[in-house]
């Protein structure tokens, strides 16, 4: 499966949702997540993210993000249509440790 990671937080560009063939993105206030059980590993969303936030589970150290994606996919509503990015997306793009700013 693929997972949405740190750099989505406070950017939330949502380009990813338009290309997913199985509509397995879920939307929270500051980020999106992928339901890893629904993701078919097609990989088309990865290059669509302007923030480079989508990673495959073959990437080392992704376990925590996969768990976070699975957890919130069960709680948040599905999203399949693009929204406007968050207003300060450009300012947050590329910062590190964004997870702590929302869930910490
Ligand atoms: Fe959807 Fe494919 Fe991305 Fe999985 S890898 S979230 S199925 S677009
Ligand atoms: Fe987030 Fe990138 Fe999608 S910033 S909403 S994973 S396009």
Indicate which CATH number applies to the domain containing 49: 3.30.70.20
Does residue 104 lie within any of the structural domains? no
Please report the pLDDT score of residue 104 as a whole number.
61
**Residues of the chain scoring pLDDT < 70:** 104
Q: Is this complex's ipTM strictly greater than 0.85?
A: yes
Whether residue 39 has its Cβ less than 6 Å from ligand 2: no
Extract the tokens encoding 89. 């997306």
To which H or E segment does residue 34 belong?
A: strand 32-34
Ligand 2 site-directed mutation target among 9, 20, 49, most atoms within 8 Å of CB: 49
pTM: 0.96
Does residue 90 lie within any of the structural domains? no
Domain housing 11: 2-81
Please report the pLDDT score of residue 103 as a whole number.
74
Does residue 36 lie within any of the structural domains? yes
Extract the tokens encoding 75. 């709680």
Cβ–Cβ under 8 Å, residues 14 and 83: yes
Please report the pLDDT score of residue 60 as a whole number.
95
- 44 CA from centroid of ligand 1 (Å): 6
């Amino acid at each position: 499966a693929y997972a949405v990671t740190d750099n989505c937080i406070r950017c939330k560009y949502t380009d990813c949702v338009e290309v997913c063939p199985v509509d397995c993105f879920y939307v929270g206030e500051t980020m999106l997540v992928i339901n890893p059980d629904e993701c078919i590993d097609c990989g088309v969303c990865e290059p669509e993210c302007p923030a480079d936030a989508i990673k495959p589970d073959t990437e080392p150290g992704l376990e925590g993000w996969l768990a976070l994606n699975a957890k919130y996919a069960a709680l948040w509503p599905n999203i399949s249509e693009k929204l406007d990015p968050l207003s300060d997306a450009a300012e947050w793009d590329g910062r590190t440790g964004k997870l702590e700013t929302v869930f910490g």
